[in-house]
Amino acid sequence: MNNAELENWHDYEVSSRREIVSLLRQIGEKNQLIRMLVKGESDVAVTSILEVDEDSDTLVLDRSIDPLQNDRIVAAGDVRCETTLDKIRILFTAEALDETSYRGGVALRADIPPTLIRLQRREYYRMPTPVSNPVRALIPLPLELGGGTGVFPLHDISVGGIAILDNRMQLNTTIGQVIENCRIELPEIGAITASLQVRNSLDMTLLNNKTNRRLGCQFVDISRGALAGVQRYITKLERERNARLAGLA
């Protein structure tokens, strides 16, 4: 979750202080675990909200069980936080972090964030792409395979990313690696360009005993225009699916 991703989700930003305080309190009351990204995915702490004090503009968070990690959190000052509330993804930045006393112990304090991102489940809904009119992703190949560009069909798509079918096992499956300058051709919408970060990889055995690989990727550095194109394409697929279901009813 980097600056580019937060910029992508700008349209889902909550800036109402009353709503922010309410959401944070609900997260605390429901004891929702929070992933605190100290230095990205390489340094992650699990915490929870202990108290939200609107009067002092303070958010109290539980400390990490690792003392050295607590030192890194305080040294960082600002960290990214990610959690869920009623199946809704919540992203925010904990700023001005420092140690504080809390109920006879030590905890972490931060400023109540001025904004947060709230992503409804629908925003991450993955829509299978049609076999009859497949979506193609043109992805740069690794140099060890001679470079160039490979063409890969999509398994599904969401505004958060895509799943690619790599039946020739050409792409690097290293989790976290970023593939830049990927072009995705959306039928009747147009082509978009974005970087893709590998998030998961799954090798599947098909009914004919052949092996296929599904690579789950997250959009990185995608422009608002490109994101709007993805949303339009998903809406188009939903309309077509609903029309088919209505015809079968």
Of 66, 89, 123, which marks where a domain is finished? 123
Q: What is the mean pLDDT of residues 170-198?
A: 92
Name the pLDDT band for 41 (thresholds 50, 70, 90).
low
**Percent of the chain surpassing pLDDT 70:** 89
pLDDT for res 231: 87
- Number of domains the chain is built from: 2
Are residues 201 and 98 located together in one domain of the fold? no
Name the pLDDT band for 124 (thresholds 50, 70, 90).
low
Are residues 220 and 131 located together in one domain of the fold? yes
pLDDT for res 9: 57
Are residues 108 and 136 located together in one domain of the fold? no
Are residues 116 and 221 located together in one domain of the fold? no
Q: How far apart are CA 178 and CA 223, in angstroms?
A: 16
Are residues 173 and 70 located together in one domain of the fold? no
Name the pLDDT band for 11 (thresholds 50, 70, 90).
low
* Two structure tokens written together for 174: 């290293």
Are residues 87 and 130 located together in one domain of the fold? no
Name the pLDDT band for 40 (thresholds 50, 70, 90).
low
Q: In this structure, what CATH number is given to the domain that contains residue 207?
A: 2.40.10.220
Q: How far apart are CA 192 and CA 119, in angstroms?
A: 22
Q: How far is CA 6 from CA 9, 65, 69, 100, 207, in A?
A: 5, 28, 24, 28, 41
Are residues 201 and 104 located together in one domain of the fold? no
Are residues 223 and 237 located together in one domain of the fold? yes
pLDDT for res 29: 93
Do 83 and 92 touch, CB atoms closer than 8 A? Answer: no
Are residues 147 and 119 located together in one domain of the fold? no
Are residues 89 and 76 located together in one domain of the fold? yes
Do 27 and 59 touch, CB atoms closer than 8 A? Answer: no
Are residues 241 and 129 located together in one domain of the fold? yes
pLDDT for 138-176, tens place per residue? Answer: 999 988 777 789 999 999 998 889 999 998 899 988 888
pLDDT for res 4: 46
Amino acid at 136: R
Residue 103 makes CB contacts below 8 A (sequence gap 6+) with: none
Are residues 138 and 56 located together in one domain of the fold? no
Average per-residue pLDDT in the chain? 86
Do 59 and 52 touch, CB atoms closer than 8 A? Answer: yes
Instruction: For residue 195, give its domain range.
Output: 125-248
Of 123, 151, 185, which marks where a domain is finished? 123
Name the pLDDT band for 52 (thresholds 50, 70, 90).
very high
Q: What is the mean pLDDT of residues 65-70?
A: 89
Of 75, 91, 123, which marks where a domain is finished? 123
**Is pLDDT of 92 > 80?**
yes
